[in-house]
Structure 1
Amino acid sequence: MRKKELLVKYILGILSTKERQLLDLWMKESPNNALYLEKLKKRNYSERYQEYKRSHRNFSVRQSGWKHVLVQAACWTIPVLVAFSLYLGLRSDKEIQIEPGTSKAILYLDPTTKIELGNSKEFEWIRLNRLDMVAEKQGILDYHQTSSRQDIHQNNLLETPRGGEYRVILEDGTRIHLNSQSTLSYPVCFEADNRTVELTGEAYFEVAKDPKRPFMVKVNGVTVRQYGTKFSINARSPQNTMIVLEEGSIGMISPDEDVRMLNAGDVAVWDRVHSTISITAPESFEAYVAWHRSRFVFDDQSLGEIMENLSLWYDMNVQFEDEALSKIHFTGSVGRYENVNILLNAIEATSSVKFHIDEHQITVMNKY
């Protein structure tokens, strides 16, 4: 067993008798080893572990069933706190840190006029048609009860880069959380008979109720229609668009006007190539909407999928030294605003994978 795992298990109080003997031998090798262990104990890791334990957040790995994946995966589940401990005390202080994304976006008032938005704590107004119409503060763009009093026939476009997110409140009160590398096109003022927006990328919608005006999202050739509910749309793939309905019901309208209805808890996938809509009702859809609630939740996801999601949020590039490593599956949860090293360390501690970070390039390699 590696020294890292021995130290972490000692801190968490889960050493076996054999492991304790190995740790004692290591401590006898040098007086500095005992001093180092005492230093770790003083950081009060046990209290952090209890906090994570109460939240029941675990991180585990399983070996893929693919024949060509020759990876020896660890057989035990380690709480995410293991990664937290490694991150704080067991990794080099000189290790490159890749920070999480922040609230930032570009607002296009028209094709030639753009405004860079950030996470300023100061309240600011954005002028439309020579009037102060849009309020912007702390990562939220607010059109509600400002532009609704004006008859402005104009579309705006909100664009988030890699490593960015932004929230917007439309003039009807609908709230939209735009994930990284996504765009949302919407009118400053909705029409009298409908509320239509267009999306690329990923977003979470909390639609204001209006029984007289359907809210419609046009995305990848399909239209989502409803009158007031909560749902998320992931349209990152050019072929498959995923819609997850959290409350109420919505209708999905294909280009040939075929309408499929979704109920709360349903997950629908629009296959643009084959023009088909498939609907399932999983036991839990937390993994699909966790990003909106400031977490990453992976439910038996491949490392390739995990790293693709992380690359967008942490604005980093990922390369697999061995493509077989991308097929290993993980289950776990970690905060979305944590340093990426926390998650990477959790994966390293529970598998035969290791990561090399060079500025914003992460290389995934075999550990052994």
Structure 2
Amino acid sequence: MKQELIYQAILSTLAHEATDEEQKIVDGWLRESEENREEYEGMRRMYEKATAPRKPKQFDADRAWKQVADHTIYKKQSWYLSTWVRYAAVVAVVVASGLFFITDWFRADSPDGIDMMAYNEPTLLLEGGDEIDLSGQSFTMKRDQALIKNDADNLLSYEAEGGTDKAKIVHNRLIIPRGKTYRLVLEDGTKVWLNSETELSYPSRFAGTKREVMLLGEAFFEVTPDKERPFYVKANGMDIRVLGTSFNVSAYQDSESTSTTLVEGSVAVSMANGAERTITPSERLAYNKKSHQLSVEKVDTELYTSWINGVYIFKNMPLEEILEKLSRWYDFSVTYQDETLKHTRFSLTADRKTDIDKLLEVINYTSDVKLEKQGKSINVKKQRRIQ
């Protein structure tokens, strides 16, 4: 009997969805040898660990800040389609109802005409038109009453260098293209993680009674508390007001909705239609830009913030949404042979360090969806299984 059929039957058994025939296949395989029984036990333990309810975690920004540097450069790893991969496959994919577990947003111009697709590396745009390629270099410079530092670990930081509130405030832009991420420390000490295909506009130093930045794309903020100067994020139809907190904002121009997920603190959110809402920790607010509908729900914040550690976690999400997010990390386009495949649901944990070819290999090995990669394009179609 083909090993593939056996592991598919084991997968169904662990998910408590096995047919009578699949249960017979598993029972027979277990009777064959002690080695099979030990292997099954290992799969069962992995599955139970992967599907166990997650306990709320205290967000450790310092740990995340250090870890993210390890995920900023693609690193190829050796890959063996052996027992480990079979375990990953079994714990990995339960189409439409289960779990895909393997460790490993804005194809549009900015509102004022900046072509995001014209940039291949993280780039700093200074007021006046100067552009600085930040990739893999370290420098320190003084500009507009600010000391600007960049290091090779993908971290750009600002420090105030004198100046008064009456001095001219200049705005910089940080452009992060597809396939890249970056970190930023603003002049007030606020830390920002920027995801792929993201643009952030911000002043080189804050002055006056408020701190304000503009976001297009996705970013996680750890805001330095300052009751006298609230922090504002303007994000594609959503205005977010905070005093000191940690939260994620997803505001891609080609997405139907803009969302905010709060980890710590409290934020007040105002929408373009005038609606306002305050959310509390572990709540996610989503605003549909077409229907103007507003929704708030309790969530596992790790699902919306894990990307800052170089990991995406998806739970029971349509394949179309998963590939849309991954396409920004790995820089590929997607076509579907059958539109219904877009709605196939997976739960997936994808580590940025895992090569995309290996990720696709495991998906193909463990599901009825076949992803074929040609250059920077992935074609999605249904594959037939040999019975």
TM-score normalised according to structure 2 size: 0.69
**Does the C-alpha gap of structure 1 residues 357 and 241 become closer, same or farther in structure 2, counting only changes over 3 Å?**
same
Contact 2:283 2:298 in 1 (8 A): yes
The equivalent residue for 1:128 is 143
**Does the C-alpha gap of structure 1 residues 301 and 78 become closer, same or farther in structure 2, counting only changes over 3 Å?**
closer
**Does the C-alpha gap of structure 1 residues 167 and 215 become closer, same or farther in structure 2, counting only changes over 3 Å?**
same
Greater CA deviation, 243-252 or 268-277?
Answer: 268-277
The equivalent residue for 1:279 is 296
Counterpart of 1:169 (choices 172, 180, 185) is 185
Rounded Cα–Cα distance in structure 1 between residues aligned with 2:298 and 2:100: 29
**Does the C-alpha gap of structure 1 residues 148 and 296 become closer, same or farther in structure 2, counting only changes over 3 Å?**
same
The equivalent residue for 2:203 is 187
The equivalent residue for 1:357 is 373
**Percent identity for Structure 1 against Structure 2:** 28
1:244 correspondence with 2:261: yes
Deviations 1:248-268 (A, max 9, x none): 110012346543111000100
Rounded Cα–Cα distance in structure 2 between residues aligned with 1:211 and 1:323: 50
Contact 1:126 1:136 in 2 (8 A): no
Structure 1 vs Structure 2 CA RMSD? 3.5
Rounded Cα–Cα distance in structure 1 between residues aligned with 2:273 and 2:349: 40
Counterpart of 1:334 (choices 337, 350, 365) is 350
The equivalent residue for 1:114 is 131
**Does the C-alpha gap of structure 1 residues 2 and 127 become closer, same or farther in structure 2, counting only changes over 3 Å?**
farther
**CA positional deviation for 1:132:** 7.7
1:261 correspondence with 2:278: yes
Rounded Cα–Cα distance in structure 2 between residues aligned with 1:44 and 1:352: 18
Contact 2:122 2:175 in 1 (8 A): yes
Rounded Cα–Cα distance in structure 2 between residues aligned with 1:78 and 1:141: 35
Counterpart of 2:237 (choices 211, 214, 221) is 221
**CA positional deviation for 1:335:** 1.3
Rounded Cα–Cα distance in structure 2 between residues aligned with 1:119 and 1:274: 43
The equivalent residue for 2:162 is 149
Long gaps (5+) in structure 1: 23-42, 65-75, 85-102
> Number of residues paired by the alignment?
305
The equivalent residue for 2:102 is 80
Deviations 1:263-283 (A, max 9, x none): 00010012333444321113x
Q: Secondary structure at the match of 1:110?
A: coil
Rounded Cα–Cα distance in structure 1 between residues aligned with 2:382 and 2:86: 28
Rounded Cα–Cα distance in structure 1 between residues aligned with 2:99 and 2:292: 41
The equivalent residue for 2:60 is none
Rounded Cα–Cα distance in structure 2 between residues aligned with 1:21 and 1:357: 39
**CA positional deviation for 1:328:** 0.6
More strand by share: 1
The equivalent residue for 2:69 is none
Deviations 1:13-41 (A, max 9, x none): x995755999xxxxxxxxxxxxxxxxxxx
TM-score normalised according to structure 1 size: 0.73
Rounded Cα–Cα distance in structure 1 between residues aligned with 2:155 and 2:352: 18
Long gaps (5+) in structure 2: 15-24, 33-79, 105-119
The equivalent residue for 2:154 is 139
Q: Secondary structure at the match of 2:188?
A: coil
**Does the C-alpha gap of structure 1 residues 336 and 154 become closer, same or farther in structure 2, counting only changes over 3 Å?**
same
Contact 1:104 1:139 in 2 (8 A): no
Contact 2:96 2:316 in 1 (8 A): no
Q: Secondary structure at the match of 1:246?
A: strand
Q: Secondary structure at the match of 1:149?
A: coil
The equivalent residue for 2:68 is none
Deviations 1:74-97 (A, max 9, x none): xx867538xx9xxxxxxxxxxxxx
**Does the C-alpha gap of structure 1 residues 324 and 44 become closer, same or farther in structure 2, counting only changes over 3 Å?**
closer
Rounded Cα–Cα distance in structure 1 between residues aligned with 2:343 and 2:211: 42
Rounded Cα–Cα distance in structure 1 between residues aligned with 2:173 and 2:100: 43
